[in-house]
Amino acid sequence: MAEAAKVTVTLEPDIEDFVRHQTERGSFASSSDYIETVLRERYERERARERLDAELQKGIDDVRAGRVMPIDEAFDSVYEELGLKRPAR
């Protein structure tokens, strides 16, 4: 993991009070810990959204290129790949 960088952030008083309250509740060791956790969660959500967008684009590209199959065939393939018995239709 890369070395942590120090960043100074100026908060509006109401946000500062909120962060302090979260820390005082005992959920976080410090205001810095709270802010880092919130930013990490936001970062991870954004990364997940980017991965989803990329996968959706692959699907769109497949459709545009004619790489498609009937839905029943697709589900059969998924069930087979997972080693599951497909429920009766």
- Residues 41-70: what's their mean pLDDT? 97
| 83 — pLDDT class (breaks 50, 70, 90) | very high
Instruction: Select from 59, 77, 55 the least CA-distant residue to 68.
Output: 59
Instruction: Select from 13, 14, 33, 15 the least CA-distant residue to 23.
Output: 33
Q: Confirm whether pTM is higher than 0.85.
A: no
Instruction: Specify the amino acid at residue 10.
Output: T
Q: Quick one: residue 5, left, alpha or beta (phi over 0 = left, psi -120 to 50 = alpha)?
A: beta
- Residues 12-24: what's their mean pLDDT? 95
Q: Share the mean pLDDT of the chain.
A: 94
| 79 — pLDDT class (breaks 50, 70, 90) | very high
User: Contact, 86 vs 76, CB < 8 A?
Assistant: yes
Q: Is the pLDDT of residue 44 over 80?
A: yes
* C-alpha span between 22 and 1 (Å, rounded): 27
User: Contact, 69 vs 62, CB < 8 A?
Assistant: no
